[in-house]
Structure formats: C-alpha cells, structure tokens
Structure 1
Amino acid sequence: MSFRPHNSPPVSSEGALHLVFRRDQLVTDLRATQLLLPREQMQRAGWQVLREQFLGYWQERPCFAVEIDETAELDPMRFQQGNLYQLLGRGDESLFALAGRASQLLAWERDHQYCGRCGEGMVLDRQERAMRCLPCHTVNYPRINPCIIVLVTRGEQMLLARHANFRGNMYSTLAGFIEAGESAEETLRREVREEVGIEVGRLRYFGSQSWPFPSQLMLGFFADYAGGDIVCEPAEIADAGWFHYRELPRTPTPASIAGQLIRHYIQELTQE
C-alpha cells in the first residue's frame, strides 16, 4: 500500500511531500510525474500557507495537505492548477483518493474556524482529527455525508439516468443522500421512487467509495426492478430509461463506483 494514514504529525518534516491547494484547486508541477510537491519546492516558491493538515505517509514519507493564499503567484511555465474531477480515472487511484482526502480535510478546517454553539474561534487539535472550541468544549470532527448509489436491473437491462444538474450526455446510476433516521436500504427505495417513480425488490450490497465532491461516502447497491413505469422527477432527472448491456450510452469511468457497478453487472451477465 502506497499510503499509510496517520493523525499525529511527525517530529521532523524532513523529506515531506505536499498536496497543495489554492482554495479548491490542486496545484501541480508541470515538470513532475506525480501530484505531490516536495517541501523544499514549497519553500522556494515562497507561498503563504493558510492551513496545513498532516495526512500520513506516502511511500513512507510524511505527507501534508496544504492550502496556500489565493493571491499566491504561480509561474505558468512551472505550475498549473485544476479541480479533482480532472484527475478522475487518470493515473494512480490511491493517489486520487489521497488528493480527495486532502481536499476534504482542508475544506473542513476552513469551514469550522468558529464554533457553531458559542461563536468563539476554534483551534485545530494536533493529536486527533478535530477542531476544538476551548471556551465551551465543543468538538467538531470531519463530516462525512453518507449516500446510496444504486444500479437498478431488469434481466439484461439496466436503468440509467441523465441527471438534470450535469452537463453533457452521460447516463449514470441513481443516487441520493441518507436522511436523518433512515437506513441505507430505506433511502435507496425512497430515492428510486422519488427520482424515477418505480419500485425495487431484492437489494445486494456492492461496496463503498469515498467521493470528495465535496465529502461523501457512497454506498453502492444493486436492486432488482419490482414494478412501475419510469416517471422522471424533472428537478432531478432530465431523462431515464432501460438500456440493454450491449447498447449502453456514455457511462461513468470505472474509477467511480457508478462505473464499477455497471461493469460488474455486465461481467455477471456475460459469465453466465
């Protein structure tokens, strides 16, 4: 495993590597083959560091997430910046996961500068992953938003949808946030009913994926079609339909759990 997570920063930062963000944009070196920047390069660039989170060890070297000031100048001949979507499906998946972890932790610290209970400033705990309010003792941990994502199937067909808020012609699986008091299974049935108007029967858990857009944990399922006609909720779904596995529209990359669900089901069908 290339990455070993750890909360407590090392005594020495010698040889440390950094994932550098300017707000929510990842800064990378055009001349390098990896996303991580050495500490010495950070220091030479003279960027003002706003916040820093220790992530753990990448290939046994200390690794930090760093946010630099938005006014920091980037040499266009040496550095570029872009969002994490541009990394999806390209290169090392574990490095993409690490970049997602870095982005989420920096956003969490940035969004919890003040206590939601008493309004006082919060401080970063260096021994555990927490923001603490010293006056009223409120503690905030990094927030994870659990979601379900489901591939509804009917024999050799799968239900795919084009989401109203996404540009382009990509069709994907259905997904939704788990609400307070709900189980994942209850959420799945509710979301499918609300988004496309059908009912599902047997459910099968597939797996999970951390999804840093911005801080979701996707719980993947297969669901058998049980009844009803497709009626799209227009605020959520632009179009939806049943597609035979040999005649699929454009679908997500296998780097996403949506793409993995689709490809896994095709493998099941073709191996029978």
Structure 2
Amino acid sequence: MATLYSKPADDEPAWWFVVSSDHLFLDAAGEVPFGCLQELSFPGLDEYRVVEIGELRERSCYLVMADYLDEQFTGGEFAPLRQLLAVEDMEKFAMAGRARQFSDFLNTHRFCGRCGARMQAIEWELAMHCNQCQHRCYPRVSPCIIVAIRKGDNILLAQGKRHKAGLHSILAGFVEAGESLEQALEREVYEEAGIRVKNIQYHLSQPWSFPHSLMMGFTAEWAEGELHIDPHELITGDWFAFDNLPMLPPEGTIARTLIDLSQKR
C-alpha cells in the first residue's frame, strides 16, 4: 500500500522514482537511481512531495514528484518511461509505472470533482479526500483487453501510430461501460481489423501505465472475415507466418508473452 511519507533517513538505501510528467529520471547508466540520499546527486527533498510506493528486492521505493524536467536533479537525465522496457527488468518497469500513475493521480485530483473544493491527501493510504462534501478518490485503473489472434500458422500483427517504427504488436483496446471482457474483445477486433474470432481464452494480466491501464490478455482464433485495418487506429496490419515475424515487443511485455503462447499452440 502506498502512503504519503516524509523523506527517509539520509543513510537509508532505497530506489528513487523521480517522475516529471510522463518522464522518469534515470542515472548515467540509464537505470533507476538506487542508494542513500547522501550519496545521490539530488537536491534537498523538503520542497518535493515524496510518496512511499512499495518495495523492490527488499528495499523501499519512493516516488518523488518533480517539476517539468527539473534541472536540479543531476547525474542523469529524464527519459520517457517506455525507455525502461529496453532494460528488460519488468519488476522495475512495473514499479516505475506505479510511480507514474500515482504522480498523475495526485496532480489531477487537487480539487474535488463533485464540489470544486481543494482536496486533502489521506496519510494512511493513497487517496484524496474532500472535507467539504466527503468525496474520496483513489487512483484510476482502466481495464483493457489485448489479444493474439491465430489463423492456421499465421498471427495477426499490426503497427500502431504510437509504436516504434517497424514494431508490430497484437490488437488491444479499452473496455467500455457495460461490456464484458469478451464483448470488448470481439468489438475491438471487428472495429480495428474487420474480422470475427472464436475460441477466446484468457491467460494473464499486466499493469500498463500509459496512462493507467490494466491489460487483460487473451488468445483467439480467426473465425471469418477479410482484414480491413482501421486507418484511424493503425498504420498497417496483416497476417504473419510464425517463421517470418517482424520486429516484436520486448520480452516480458504481455504482448510478447501472448505472441509466444500463440506460437506454441
């Protein structure tokens, strides 16, 4: 459980997730800073909001909410959170995503959405409370489906508009109000690719902090229809043979896990 917390002792070794908008401060080696405050090139943290967000490898993790690309943090640079995927440490990536989501939550809930009064942080849990109308908010989590679709010895892969150039992945989309996960999957697949699917099977989930998603992963099989890729959502998409795949998402991501599962079926 995350709690609002004053800064730890200067000699406490800890992980430091310094978040600025959608960027994370990485040290000169491209890693999340680890160590005692007295050893790091950090400014004094008295004027920053510091939040204890959990533990990683038996050491505390702290979110530090920084100003936009705060120049007071030296010995590294702010980088997009996705850059951590290249490190292939999914535990660290997940904690960094948690830090970013908490930072977004605290920044966007300064005022009550019901009555407009200033909200106050709850000290024993990560929540914001309005003392005027008693409205309380918690960090938002948005459910999404992601699905690997197989057709014989081929898999459907597409390049999204936010993807790295050349990278292809599987289809995904947000669950709408009143939908089951399976209904959302069938709708998203039809809207983005124009096909129907069958044999839908759930496998696993993964938090995905872009900005606050929880990805629920499925596999399915093509049932009918010709591909018609939605140009508003995707750049391109096609069936690819498993022995001739394009650039894929990195190991450890839910997309790559589902692609590998489909290949083994």
| TM-score computed with the length of structure 1 as normaliser | 0.88
Which of 229, 233, 236 does residue 236 from structure 1 map onto?
233
8 Å Cα contact 2:147/2:220 also seen in 1: yes
8 Å Cα contact 1:148/1:175 also seen in 2: yes
Query: What secondary structure, in the 3-state scheme, does the structure 1 residue paired with 2:93 have?
Result: helix
Which of 45, 65, 68 does residue 67 from structure 1 map onto?
65
In the TM superposition, residue 165 of structure 1 has moved relative to its aligned partner by: 4.3
In the TM superposition, residue 161 of structure 1 has moved relative to its aligned partner by: 1.1
CA distance in 2, matches of 1:127, 1:21: 22
In the superposition, relative to structure 1, how do residues 33 and 23 fare at CA in structure 2: closer, same or farther (>3 Å)?
A: closer
- Ranges in structure 1 where 5+ consecutive residues have no aligned partner: 1-5
Q: What does residue 51 of structure 1 align with?
A: 49
Runs (4+) off by over 4 Å: 8-12, 31-34, 41-44
The answer to whether residue 102 in structure 2 is matched with residue 105 in structure 1 is yes
Of 43-52 and 148-157, the range deviating more from structure 2 = 43-52
CA distance in 1, matches of 2:30, 2:80: 18
CA distance in 2, matches of 1:71, 1:207: 35
Q: 1:238-271: CA deviations, max 9, x gaps? A: 22111110011111112211111112222x14xx
Q: 1:124-144: CA deviations, max 9, x gaps? A: 111122110110000110001
In the TM superposition, residue 99 of structure 1 has moved relative to its aligned partner by: 0.9
8 Å Cα contact 1:122/1:132 also seen in 2: yes
In the superposition, relative to structure 1, how do residues 86 and 43 fare at CA in structure 2: closer, same or farther (>3 Å)?
A: closer
In the superposition, relative to structure 1, how do residues 134 and 37 fare at CA in structure 2: closer, same or farther (>3 Å)?
A: farther
Of 57-66 and 254-263, the range deviating more from structure 2 = 57-66
The answer to whether residue 2 in structure 2 is matched with residue 7 in structure 1 is yes
8 Å Cα contact 2:6/2:51 also seen in 1: no
In the superposition, relative to structure 1, how do residues 237 and 33 fare at CA in structure 2: closer, same or farther (>3 Å)?
A: closer
The letter for the 1-side match of 2:8 is S
| TM-score computed with the length of structure 2 as normaliser | 0.90
Query: What is the total number of aligned residue pairs between the two structures?
Result: 262
- Ranges in structure 2 where 5+ consecutive residues have no aligned partner: none
Q: 1:11-39: CA deviations, max 9, x gaps? A: 98231522112333211332696533533
Q: What does residue 94 of structure 1 align with?
A: 91
8 Å Cα contact 2:148/2:218 also seen in 1: yes
CA RMSD of aligned residues (A): 2.3
CA distance in 1, matches of 2:112, 2:199: 44
Q: 1:142-201: CA deviations, max 9, x gaps? A: 001110000111121111112244351221100000000001000000000111100001
8 Å Cα contact 1:48/1:69 also seen in 2: no
The answer to whether residue 170 in structure 2 is matched with residue 173 in structure 1 is yes
Identity over aligned residues, as a percent?
Answer: 35
Query: What secondary structure, in the 3-state scheme, does the structure 1 residue paired with 2:87 have?
Result: coil
